[in-house]
Every structure is written in structure tokens, then in C-alpha cells.
Amino acid sequence: MGTLGKALGVGGAFIAGSGTLREFLLNRARSFIFTTGSPPALAAGAHAALRILEDEGWRRHRLRKNAEHLRSGIAALGHPVDPALAG
């Protein structure tokens, strides 16, 4: 299961699995059955964001450099920077 909100900038989530898992969830997951489907625009936005991630790797590199710069700047001010792993 993954969410699309932070990394891709759209709402929604996905579950990757076998056809058997898909059928099970379609037939047994009450929260899925009684939920309104996402609008097509969200799927298009996620698809476009995935294309950008694949085609424009420089963006990831720049983001990593910006994060390193921020982290070192905060540490230089005397504030500890401890990453918190979630999930």
C-alpha cells in the first residue's frame, strides 16, 4: 500500500498485489465498497507526476541537496536534527 499525497502531490492511495488479493479486496473490504471512487483528474495527476519522476531525475537530486542544506543549516544553529522514520 502506498499513498500519493506527499511524493506525488495528489490525493489517494494504491495497493499493489496479486489478482487474488484484488478480488478479495473488491469483495470483502467494506471501506472500499462504500467509498466513492477517485475522480479521473487525480489519476491523471498521479500519472503525470510519475512520468516527471522517471524523466526528470535532476529534480530528486536537487531536492536531496536542498534537504541536506536545510539540515546542515539547522544543525549549525545548534538544533539537533533527528530524522523520524514512520511506517
> pLDDT tens, 5-52?
887 888 888 889 999 998 998 888 888 777 787 889 999 999 999 999
Domain-embedded: residue 81 = no
The residue count for the chain: 87
**Domain boundaries, position 8:** 2-76
Domain-embedded: residue 82 = no
Asked if residue 4 has pLDDT above 90, the reply is no
Number of domains in the chain: 1
Domain-embedded: residue 87 = no
Which pLDDT does position 26 carry in this prediction? 84
Nearest to 53 by CA among 41, 38, 42, 63: 63
* DSSP string for the chain: -EESTTTSSSS-EE----HHHHHHHHHH-HHHHTSPPPPHHHHHHHHHHHHHHHH-HHHHHHHHHHHHHHHHHHHHTT---------
Domain-embedded: residue 84 = no
pTM of the model: 0.61
